[in-house]
Structures are given as C-alpha cells and as structure tokens.
Structure 1
Amino acid sequence: MTQVRKNLMTNVMCLVTNVLVGLLYTPYLVRELGVATYGVLPIALVINQYIIILTDSLQNSVTRFYSIEYRQNNFKKASIYFSSAIAITVLLAIAVVPLICFLLPQIEKFLHIPNNLSHSVGLLIVYTVTSLFIAVCSNCVNITIYSDNRLDLINYLKVIRNLTKLIINIALFYFFSVDVANVGLSAVLAEVLVLIISIIFYKTTKSKTIRCGIRYVSFMAMKPIAKMLTWVSLMSFSGVFIYKIDAILVNNYFGLYYTGILGSISEFGSYCISITGVIGVLYRPLMLIAYSEGRHEDLVRTVVDGSYIVGLVSSLLCGIIMGLSASILKIWLNEEISHYWLWLVIKMFIIPITTFGSTY
C-alpha cells in the first residue's frame, strides 16, 4: 500500500472518529453540566485559541525550515531547527505562565462568571493551557514524522487524543464529581499519553542522522523561525477572531446561559472545519516536499488544487447544514437550543471564507 493511500485511509478513519466523538461529547457535556455551566467552556477555549495560533504557527514555521534542510541532506542544520523548536516551546511556556498567573485572580473583572464557578474556571484555564503546551511538545516531536509524509501515524495520535479525552472525562464525572474543571484535567491526561506515544513514534521512525539536544539549540536559527512565526500568526489570527470572539461578547452582554448556547452551536462548526481540514492536510506535506526539492510548478499546482477542493467541499457542506440547521440542533442537542438555529447559519456562513486558504 502506498503512503498516500495510507494517509487517505487514516485521514478518513480520523475524521469518522473525531466526528462521532464530537457529536457525542458536546451533548454529554451540555446534559451533565447544564447550559449555563457549559457556557464557561467556550470562554476558556477562546483564551486558549490564541495560544493555539502561536503553537500551530510555530510548528508550521519549523516544519518548513526543517523539511528544506532534511530533503537537501543538511542533517546538522535540520537537527538545529528541530532542537531550536523545542527550545522556543519552552521559552513560550516560560513567557505565558506568569501572564496566566497574573490574570487568573482578575478573571471576574474581565468575564461574567458566578462566584460558585470562579475556582473551577481558574482550574479549567490552568489545565487547558497546560494541555496546550504539552500538545506543542508533541507537535514538535512529530515534525520528523510530518516531514516524512507519515500522516498515518499523526492521525493515529489524533484518534488516541480524542478517544482518551472522552473516556477520561466520563470517568472523572462518574467516579469523582461533575465539575467543569475536570474537562480540562481530562485534556491534560490525554495530552500526556499522546506525548509518550509521540516520543515512541519519534524513536522508531526518525532518521539516525537527526539529533536532538541542548548543544544543537541555536539562537541564530530561532530568528528566521520567529519572523515566519509572526507572519503565520497574523494570518491565522483573523480567522480565529471572526469565529471565536463572539463568545466573549455574548458573555459580557448576555451572560453564561447564552454563552453556553452559542458555544455548543459553535462546536458543530468546529467539526465542519475538521472535516475540511482532513482534506487540506493531505496537501501540506506534498507542498513542503515539492518546495524543498525546488519543484515550483508542482508546488503551484498542488496549492491551487488543494485550495479549490477545500473551498468547494466546505461551501457544499456548510450550505447543506445551513438549510437543515433547525433540525440538526433539535436532534443533536435539544428543542430549546434549536430555536437559535440562526446562530448556526451565521457560523456556517463564515467557515468557507476562513478555511479556503487552510491548505497553505
């Protein structure tokens, strides 16, 4: 079986698993926590989404530099970029942790959160930020896998992450307490497992010529990574701002109950983004390989084809969901939330715009 076919098959498997887990997970949380308490989750996710921009942009930036050197057999430079990426991750964590510690006591000034939930929300944010930085470490380790076009292994990790998070969350609710902070704790434990498996994959698949260690960390190598990181982050910021900022606005003006409704509806849009992302991610390693080998005509063709297909699929998918929005919300969540079907229509309307360039 060719690697492209393996990637496609595991992408489909990953897509089916993620959609099934997502369709079960959100109604479960709404039912167990209640709509108002669930409204805390979108707020925490908005805060973390901007950290995700930095971390994903870091991975994309490093992968580009690493792939070019690796494909040109400059293994020492590839090792330098690989080690420097992990060092940048540590520096980002050191920079963000004091900021989080400063903002947590002030959270009630920025957001409308009841006193009985303030402690749980603080823990939720700490857990989710922790899980994100563990995920960044996993992504950095997976750079070598990604550059070799081993998307099948990365897809296995995604399946493990989502299934583990769901199972641990249900176990924490059942054996301990139904607390919104446990949603974040389950994410931390799931990411720790994914990091361990990522290290195993790295050890078993990496080239013997690639090294990782402090002596390979170079601040000179960090400079081009930081420049590209800045531009990629700015490109990603607009899409997240358009899709996620409404949770903060709704919380400030209408309270947690409506934030919970909007957050649960937004999750359905996130699953649609995941579906189109499965298609788009197939093209990215091919682009990197073509770019690093100097095949610019193939690169242009791949970019155009990928953008066209992702844009077409996302538009068709969102159009169908917009037409069935009320029925979907009634079946998926409940009749009460289905009255806010227009919110889902608005969410679907902007997805093709933000995902059209997701293959770059």
Structure 2
Amino acid sequence: MTHKFVLPLPATPKPSAAKLTRISAAQSVDVALSTDNHLIGNVFSNVVYTFIAALANLWLTPFLITNIGIAAFGMIPLTNSIVAYAAILTTAIYNSVSRFLAIELEKNDYTAANKVFNTAMFSLIGLLVGFIPLVIVIAIIFPAIFHIPAGWEADASWLFVLTAVSFFITLIGTNFSISPFLKSQFIPINTINFGGLALKIGVIILIYTFLPHKLWYVGAASVLGAVVILAGFVILWKKFTPQLHLNIHDFSQSQLASMAGMAGWVMVNMAGAMLLSRADLLIINRYFGAVITGGYASIVQLSMLLEYAANAASIVLRPMILNQYARQDFQALQNTSYLAVKGLGLLLALPVGVMCGFAVPLLKLWLGGDYTFLAPLLVLVIFYQALSLSARPLLFVQNACDRVKWPGIITLISGTGAIVLAILLSKWGTWGPAGIPVAIALAMILKNGIYMPIYTARILNLQWWSFLPALIPGVLYSAVTGACTFAVNYIAPPASWLWLGAYSAMIFVLLGFLAWWIGFKPSEKQFIKTYLRFGW
C-alpha cells in the first residue's frame, strides 16, 4: 500500500557526469511511501536500545573507575581505539557488500547475491586471519609503546588481545546482519545486540564482585557477548534470506574486483575517519599520561553517546536509500536525505545544548566533584556534534551512488590535518589537552558541515547549496538550547540526578515543541506526519 502527497522540493534528475542544471525549488513532486518501512518501530527500537546501552556504559564507567582506578580504566577505551583501526579494511568490505547485495536482492538474482555475500565473507575472514600476527606483536610490545599504570602491564596486553578477538567476532557477525538490515528488521537486530550487551555487563559485574580485580576481565566479557551476537545474527541471516548460503565455492575473484573499487575508497575514508575519531586518545596518552587519558576517555563517551543516537535515528534510512537507488528513484532519494539531515540536526541540538549547559553538574554527579575540571573539555568535544552528525545521511547517499572516491580523499586529508594541528596546539602551543578536541572540531565542521552537503548535491545533479539549508536549524537550536540550559544552571544548578533529569526534560519538551513548530515548513511536517502514520 502506498500514500502519495505533494512535497515542494526541487526535482532530481538521474545523476550524471553532465554539467549541473538549474532546478526550480518550487517544482512539486509525488513521493510514494510504503507501509513496508516500519519506520516508527525501527526508530523506536534503535532509540530504546541506544538509551539502554548508553545508561549501561555510563553506569559502568564509574563502576570500573571505583574498582581499578581512572588510570587503569583509561586502558579500556585506549585498546578499543587501537583495535578499531582494523575497521579501515573490514568496514570497507561491509559498505561495499551491503550496496551490491541490496541491488542483487532487489533484482531477485540470488546467484549473484550469493557471490556477493560469500566473496565478502571469505575476504573478511582472510583479512582477520592476516591480522593475527600483528595482534600478537602489538600485545607483546604494548607496555613499551603506551603509558600504562605500574602493575597493570600484563593485564593491558591481555586486554588488548581479548578486545581484538571480540572485535573480530563482531565483524563476522556484522556481515551476517546485512540480511535483516536490508529487510529493515531493526527490532530483532537490536534484540540480539541487547542480549550480547546484557551478558557482557552481567559478567563484568559478577567477576568484579567476587574475584580479584583484573583489567582483562572486561575483554573476556566482551568476547562472550560477541559470541552471543554472532550466533543471533546467523539465525536472522537464515530466517530473512534463506536463499543465501555460506559456500566458499561462491567466492568470485571477478566479484571481488567489482567491489574493490568502492571498497578501496571506503578504506581511504575509514582511515581518515579513524584519525578523526580514534587518534585523540593515542595523542592524549602519548603526551599527557595515563590519568588524563582516563579522564578524557570518560567524557568522550558522552560524545559517543551522541554518535550512537545519531546512528540509531539515521541508520533506518540506509536500506531505504539503497533501495531507492536500486529503483533509480532519485527524487525520493533527495527528499529522504534532505529531511533526514534537517530532522537529525534538530533532534541532536537538544542533547548537545543540554550537555554543554549542564557540563559541570553532569560531571559532578556522574564522576564526582574531583572531575569537574573536565567540563571545558566536555564542551569542546560535543558543541559541534549537531552539525557534524546530522550530515550522516548524506554519506548513505554517496555510498549508494558509489561516489566515494573524493569523500575518502577529503576525509583522509581532514584526519591527517586534524592530527597535525592537534599535536601543534596541545604539545607545542599553549592549549594543552584542549588543543586536541579543538583541532578535531575544526576538521569535522569543514568536512561534514561544508564539503559533504556540497559534494552530495553535486552527485545528485543539484545546485551546490541544495543541502546547506538543512544544516542551519541544528546549529541555531544547539546554540539556543545551550544558552537556555546555561541560564538555568546559573540561576539554580541541579544538585541531584532528579533535578538534572527534571531540568533536562523541561528543556527538551519546551524547545522540542519550538523546534517542531518553527524548524519545519508545513510541507515538511506533512511529509513527516504521513511517513510516521504509514511507517509502523
């Protein structure tokens, strides 16, 4: 069943290499909405899981700091950051296979779909096997290349090994999760993720309650959780795509070559993204020691919470964008991505502003009064996130159109520039640790706030500024929310979690209604209302 209505956005011709043409912004188009999207249920499922995972991780941080100390705690996010660099290769495979698999499944060509899936799976397994010697070498020299608290050297090495094993298992499971992902089955996906998370947190609590405290226990719990998630995704894979099978004979070198072009530039993109999102802890540890590493790692979790929220709200659109591209429905592709950027920016503006305005009481209640000195760093880490993260749906468009070369190059340049500037500001300048988030913020604003919307407009054959207006409301509402929250904190600072929650809820409700009535045009409200009504 479909529902049609008129949405006054510029019409989108099929993208081509031809010179851009001027398109009337007043031209009306029909957009078909399918009841197969399950939009509300998917978004609700993602938000609930993200909220539960966030609460669990936020609670776990002071729990671990109390048991092992903040310096030892800093080794946990540090090892995660190092291991995550393997995603430079593996995520490239994931993005490529999801695009090609979506196209083949849309055409009901299951022979080709099996070649795509098995080529990606066995390529991934081969890469992970190749990483094993590197993991062993890094584990051996780990205490020599990083600042580790005295007495925790062996634990840190084992933590690194177990974190790597957990990460590799998770990556294999992610490949199986592509099938339910392309079917927009986010509720079972999140149910499995929740089971793995619950097992991990439960094991950590039990171990630290009854056994002598060891750092590597966290890695062991992560491995158990990853195994459960892998098993669940295999079950979903068989349920939602019974036409697919695991068979090494379906590995195709020609298929690998077809995916390699896109995967190669995604790899470049991932390398830059890792420099932007993961290298900060390495620089902090290198120049400022283990204690500052632990403090900075704690507040970075709040930035990651925003990233998880952005992912929860936007990832449900990726299979839609892939399917719209597979159907060559470029008008729907433009409409979906434009409103996704605008809506995501307004949605993120609320938590960004609240965390900036309540930075001091938040840290005091969460980590303790001794850590309120981290408040300026917290503001620098998150103040720009509504702008940066709201551009994420544009990345889905670029991947769907297989236009990832220049985004990869620009991301790598941005990441490299951010790291150089971060070292200059923090080590040889007078900024100290604050120089690192400042450098990363500048790079993110230039890349996500300027380059990505302009490039996406170019590949859709639109005027260069077409997506820029979608970013402005999120920036404005971040500033408004931050100013209101700061004023509330100045007049009556919250002294308990109850008051912090009450103030935050009040700000969310009032400014949320304001964002809805002022931030969206009538036609955009009609689009959203209709999509939600038909999206269960």
Q: Please, what TM-score do these two structures have when normalized by structure 1?
A: 0.94
Q: Which has the higher helix share?
A: 1
2:269 aligned to which of 229, 235, 250: 235
Are the counterparts in 2 of residues 22 and 271 from structure 1 also a CA contact under 8 Å?
Answer: no
Distance 1:307 1:48 in 2: 30
Shift in Å at residue 99 of structure 1? Answer: 1.3
Q: How does 1:1-360 map to 2 (within 5 A)?
A: 3-207=38-242, 209-359=243-393, 360=396
Are the counterparts in 1 of residues 159 and 216 from structure 2 also a CA contact under 8 Å?
Answer: yes
Moved more, 144-153 or 71-80: 144-153
Give secondary structure in 1 for the equivalent of 2:125. helix
Instruction: Indicate how the Cα distance of structure 1 residues 355 and 170 shifts in structure 2: closer, same or farther if over 3 A, else same.
Output: same
Give secondary structure in 1 for the equivalent of 2:244. coil
Could you report, residue by residue, the CA deviation over 1:9-33 in whole angstroms, capped at 9, with x for unpaired residues?
Answer: 3123212211221221112111211
Distance 2:127 2:388 in 1: 26
Give the residue type in structure 2 aligned to 1:272. L
Distance 1:9 1:317 in 2: 17
Distance 2:99 2:113 in 1: 10
Give the residue type in structure 2 aligned to 1:230. G
Are the counterparts in 1 of residues 87 and 270 from structure 2 also a CA contact under 8 Å?
Answer: no
Distance 2:64 2:226 in 1: 20
Moved more, 176-185 or 348-357: 348-357
Are the counterparts in 2 of residues 79 and 210 from structure 1 also a CA contact under 8 Å?
Answer: yes
Are the counterparts in 1 of residues 64 and 73 from structure 2 also a CA contact under 8 Å?
Answer: yes
Distance 1:87 1:226 in 2: 14
Give secondary structure in 2 for the equivalent of 1:301. helix
Could you report, residue by residue, the CA deviation over 1:202-240 in whole angstroms, capped at 9, with x for unpaired residues?
Answer: 222323x32321111112212232322222233344343
Partner of 2:452: none
Moved more, 180-189 or 111-120: 111-120
Shift in Å at residue 123 of structure 1? Answer: 0.8
Distance 2:124 2:210 in 1: 35
Distance 2:273 2:361 in 1: 27
Shift in Å at residue 248 of structure 1? Answer: 1.3
Give secondary structure in 2 for the equivalent of 1:313. helix
Distance 2:325 2:341 in 1: 17
Shift in Å at residue 112 of structure 1? Answer: 1.5
Distance 2:278 2:52 in 1: 24
Distance 2:103 2:246 in 1: 17
Shift in Å at residue 143 of structure 1? Answer: 1.3
Unpaired runs of at least 5, structure 1: none
Moved more, 92-101 or 7-16: 7-16
Could you report, residue by residue, the CA deviation over 1:157-180 in whole angstroms, capped at 9, with x for unpaired residues?
Answer: 222222221111112222333211
Are the counterparts in 2 of residues 322 and 348 from structure 1 also a CA contact under 8 Å?
Answer: yes
Distance 1:32 1:125 in 2: 19
Sequence identity percentage: 24
More contact order relative to length (CA 8 Å, sep ≥ 6): 1
Could you report, residue by residue, the CA deviation over 1:255-286 in whole angstroms, capped at 9, with x for unpaired residues?
Answer: 11111111111111111111111111121111
Are the counterparts in 2 of residues 52 and 132 from structure 1 also a CA contact under 8 Å?
Answer: no
Shift in Å at residue 357 of structure 1? Answer: 2.9
Give the residue type in structure 1 aligned to 2:351. L
Larger-Rg structure: 2
Distance 1:115 1:28 in 2: 21
Give secondary structure in 2 for the equivalent of 1:339. helix
Distance 1:110 1:354 in 2: 32
Give secondary structure in 1 for the equivalent of 2:383. helix
Are the counterparts in 2 of residues 26 and 267 from structure 1 also a CA contact under 8 Å?
Answer: no
Q: Please, what TM-score do these two structures have when normalized by structure 2?
A: 0.64
Are the counterparts in 1 of residues 238 and 244 from structure 2 also a CA contact under 8 Å?
Answer: no
Distance 1:40 1:249 in 2: 13
Instruction: Indicate how the Cα distance of structure 1 residues 55 and 66 shifts in structure 2: closer, same or farther if over 3 A, else same.
Output: same
Moved more, 229-238 or 168-177: 229-238
Moved more, 230-239 or 26-35: 230-239
Distance 1:272 1:137 in 2: 26
